[in-house]
Structure formats: C-alpha cells, structure tokens
Structure 1
Amino acid sequence: MVTDSTSSPVAAAAGRILDANAYLTLATADAEGRPWATPVWFAVRDLREFIWVSRPTRRHSQNIGARAEVALAVFDSSAPVGEASAVYAEALAEQVPDDGVEDALAAFNAGCEASGMRPWAEGSVTGAAPHRLYRAVASHLWTLDEREDRVPVY
C-alpha cells in the first residue's frame, strides 16, 4: 500500500492510483531505439521504486539490459472517457543485482500479500530459476489534474 496521509495532495492522489491498479505499462527501447511497451504486475515502494518479476529472455528485459531509460504509466483502463486518472514516470530500470534481491523481494512480496497473492521465494528469482526481479527507480513522477494535465509529484 502506497497511500500516506502525511504526503502532499498530489502525492496522495498518485498513491491512491498506484494502490488501486495491479499493472503498469512499461515502455522500453532497444539499443537502436526501437520502442516496446508491455504490461507488468508490480509493487511500489515510496512512490519511487517500481518492482516486478520477469524473465530475462523477454523483449522488455533485454531492452532494459541495453538501455536503462524507461517510462511507465499506471491507469485504470475501465474508467469512462473524461474520468481518467493516471500516474506517469521517467525512470532508470535494471535487473535487481544479487546483493539487492532480499530487500527488493521483501517489497515485492509485501505487494503480493496486500493483493492476496502468494509471496515469491528467493529461489524463484535467483540461481537456475527462469525469473528475475527488476526495478525502475523514478526520477520524475506525474499524475493528472481535473483538466487531464500532468502535474508533477516530484
């Protein structure tokens, strides 16, 4: 859960959007700049760190290996036209290094448990396992105002 009653109204709005949605759309590009977008189930920490599990063989994972700069959007696709709310971010992404797996997995599993999902074991994202943890640390975050203009959270 992201929402924090002590945060600014804009940050609180961003937190509510992130709490209410399970998937983010991750936009990556390969070394030549060819774009790719994919949905990933995510957990978020401190409105800044977005964590997901993926296979290193997937196109978006390979793109992150070639170019760390990503963008992401989190939104409710069932919202009626004119009632949209969304969070947008620019971030640097990476496969979580071995020395960060325990910490990132704890944050990811907190999101899993809050959503009623089973937690992942460390062995499910290390060693010979087919999945790895990824994270994107946002440098800029926005949400929408009532006119659907982007308002910076930070």
Structure 2
Amino acid sequence: MATDATSSPAATTARRILDANAYLTLATADAAGRPWATPVWFAVRDLREFVWVSRPARRHSENIAARAQVAITVFDSTTPVGEATAVFAEALAAPVPEDAVDDALAVYNAGCEASGLRPWAEGSVTGAAPHRLYRAVASHLWVLDEREDRVEVY
C-alpha cells in the first residue's frame, strides 16, 4: 500500500492540483462499454470523495446508473507543454442516497463557498428538483509529477 494519503509528497501535490482547479474530467461507460467523458464542477473531501451536481438524464449520469466504475482526471489545461501535473483516480460513483444528502451537500457547499459561489439548498437536489448530488469514492489515486511519471498517492 502507498504512503499515508494525507502526508506524502504525492498527496501534497494532489491537494494542490485539486484545490487549484474547478472541473474534473469524468470518464464513464454505458452498459455496452461505450465511453463518455465530460467536465463537471466538483468539490473534494480527503483526497478520496469527489462530489458534483448533475441531472440524472445526462449521459454521464445514465452511464453511472448502468456502470458505477469511473475514472477521474483533474489538470490545468493552461499549463505549458512539458510542465503539466495532474490527478488521476479510479472510483465508484453513484447518486448520493437521500440519507447521505446532508453530508455530501456540506462537502459540495464548502467547495462552492470557497469559490465564491452560492451554496445549494437541499431542496435543489432532492424531491422534484431536476438536479441530484453525485459522489465518486476513489479506490486509487495518482499524480503526474514533473517528470511525467505517475506516482501513487494510495
């Protein structure tokens, strides 16, 4: 197993990248294996839990309903060629269940407030609202270092 995910140099790099970027690229596949990638605005907790808001009828949301395995990439697309760093994750994703909405919404809203965005109300992601909270819990996380090597965080 990798070094403690909260204190290793790779974890510090991952935290810096995640804190500096607003969107992750979410890679999903449908039941037949057809891939799809989409950017989503996200918040993260403990380098492991990624939370976003989406509509259930969007292709990536439908893919998650069919196949929970996802891949995540976070990177700064404005970085000059040869200087890029990135975070990569393998995760399981799902809509946040009703009994966990408060906790996931707290993570999401902390990210919103840190970015100067309005927080979301629970009623905006439950009941008849068109949006739902989604969560991906990473099982593996890596960073791309300055030598373009993939370094395991956990």
What's 2:17 paired with? 17
Worse-superposed segment, 123-132 or 139-148 = 139-148
* Unaligned stretches of 5+ residues in structure 1: 1-5
Structure 2 counterparts to residues 3-152 of structure 1, below 5 A: 7-152=7-152
Q: Distance in 1 between matches of 2:65 and 2:58?
A: 11
Looking at structure 2, the residues matched to 8 and 56 of structure 1 have their Cα atoms a distance apart, in angstroms, of: 36
**Alpha-carbon separation, structure 2, partners of 1:110 and 1:149:** 32
Could you list the runs of 4 or more consecutive aligned residues of structure 1 that deviate by over 6 angstroms after TM superposition? none
Is the partner of 1:106 in helix, strand or coil? helix
Partner of 1:120, secondary structure, is coil
For 1:3, the equivalent position in structure 2 comes to none
Q: CA RMSD in A?
A: 0.7
Aligned length: 149
* Pairwise CA distance, 1:100: 0.5
The AA in structure 2 aligned to 1:49 is E
Indicate the residue corresponding to 2:153 in structure 1: 153
Gaps spanning 5+ residues in structure 2: where?
Answer: 1-5
The Cα of 1:82 is off from its aligned counterpart by 0.3
The higher-RCO structure (CA 8 Å, 6+ apart) is 2
Q: 1:146 Cα shift?
A: 2.1
Match of residue 3 from structure 2: none
